[in-house]
Chains A and B, each alone.
Chain A
């Protein structure tokens, strides 16, 4: 519990990175993202996700298109833009570098 709360701000900050990763794997809609994160350390809710996706869209990292659904009204499907793809690659590399730094520290 103590450990979890110490890293809480980092987890919060990493959510954006994880959402980019999920959106980068294939075109998804919000319940897909929620399901992918559920049960992990990064489980989240629509109240958090929609404002985050809007921010990513404003930063031109993701875009969405409407797709008809068999049940109910059309849904927003999100995917990465080229800029989003580039940022995801950069984030991935940076994250690996951080992990190596942490692993090497104290040896």
Chain B
């Protein structure tokens, strides 16, 4: 059994979304919401973006088409672009140059979610050595270390992606997507 489409209300327009496309939209809105954290007009801008998504998707659909799929949504989101708060770009560039002394996961070049890379960067260790050590610990702990990894994966923030950095493999990308979606949902639930 499978849900075929989801009815989505986008600030005045109601559209049918294919399940996969809906999840992609949910992720975009969660990222937008986070980027606008602390902006007094956060809700209004999110509304503007919903309206833009509805416009862009409708424009890309054929007249007989009833359901928005990824084929319309992806180019629509590309055209709308990621949310950039005025003045934040300069601030982000500033912090990127300073070595981060916070423990973060690093998606670029990660194998699973980037926990080992984050630990290696934080403690100044060789990541390969750390990975071998981690695998040994998993074997020796009878799998208990897997829980520790999962906990770190859920708790450690992700380092911001470097523009033009190396591409992220499929699994780390999925992990990041999944964790961020989960966090966004928890955020919503706790208000």
Question: What's the least CB distance linking A47 to chain B, in Å?
Answer: 4
The listed residue (A9, A16, A51, A74) touching B45 by CB distance below 8 A is A51
Task: Contact check, A55 vs B81: say whether CB atoms are below 8 A apart.
Answer: no
Query: Which residues of chain A come closer than 8 Å to B82, judged between CB atoms?
Result: 47
Q: How far is the CB of B44 from chain A (nearest CB, A)?
A: 6
A16-B86, A51-B85, A73-B13 known; A58+B52 contact, CB < 8 A: no
In the bound complex, CA of A44 to CA of B151 (Å): 39
Residue in A9, A30, A57 whose beta carbon sits within 8 Å of that of B90 in the complex: A9
Once the chains bind, are B32 and A47 in contact (CB under 8 Å)? yes
- Contacting B at CB under 8 A, from A49-81, are 50-52, 54-55, 57-58, 72-74, 76
CB pair B49 A47 closer than 8 Å: yes
A8-24 contacts to B, CB under 8 A, are 9, 12, 16
Complex alpha-carbon distance, A30 and B11, angstroms: 16
Contact between B45 and A30 (Cβ–Cβ < 8 Å)?
Answer: no
Given contacts A72-B55, A73-B12, A73-B13, contact A46 B86 (CB under 8 A): no
Check A54 against B39 for contact (C-beta < 8 Å): yes
- The 0/1 profile, CB within 8 Å of A marked 1, for residues 51-65 of chain B is 110110010000000
Q: How large is the interface on B (under 10, 10 to 19, 20 to 34, 35 or more residues)?
A: 20 to 34
- Point out the residue from B36, B40, B81, B85 that lies within 8 Å of A46, measured CB to CB: B81
Q: How large is the interface on A (under 10, 10 to 19, 20 to 34, 35 or more residues)?
A: 20 to 34
Within 8 Å of chain A (Cβ to Cβ): is B89? yes
Bound form: Cα–Cα A9–B84 in Å: 14
Is A48 interfacial (CB 8 A cutoff)? yes
- Chain B CB within 8 A of A89 CB: no
State in angstroms the CA–CA spacing of A55 and B86 once bound together. Answer: 8
- The chain A residues found within 8 Å of chain B, CB to CB, are 9, 12, 16, 30, 44-48, 50-52, 54-55, 57-58, 72-74, 76
Given A45-B79, A48-B84, 15 new contacts (CB under 8 A): A30-B48, A30-B52, A45-B80, A47-B81, A47-B82, A50-B49, A51-B41, A51-B85, A51-B86, A52-B86, A55-B41, A57-B41, A72-B54, A72-B58, A73-B51
Nearest first, the 7 A-B pairs at minimum CB distance are A45-B81, A47-B81, A54-B41, A73-B12, A50-B48, A46-B80, A48-B84
Binding site for A on B (CB under 8 A): 11-13, 32, 36, 39-41, 44-45, 48-49, 51-52, 54-55, 58, 79-86, 89-90
A-B contact pairs, 18 of them (CB 8 A): A30-B52, A44-B81, A45-B81, A46-B52, A46-B80, A47-B80, A47-B83, A50-B83, A51-B36, A51-B83, A51-B86, A54-B41, A58-B40, A72-B54, A73-B12, A73-B54, A74-B12, A76-B48
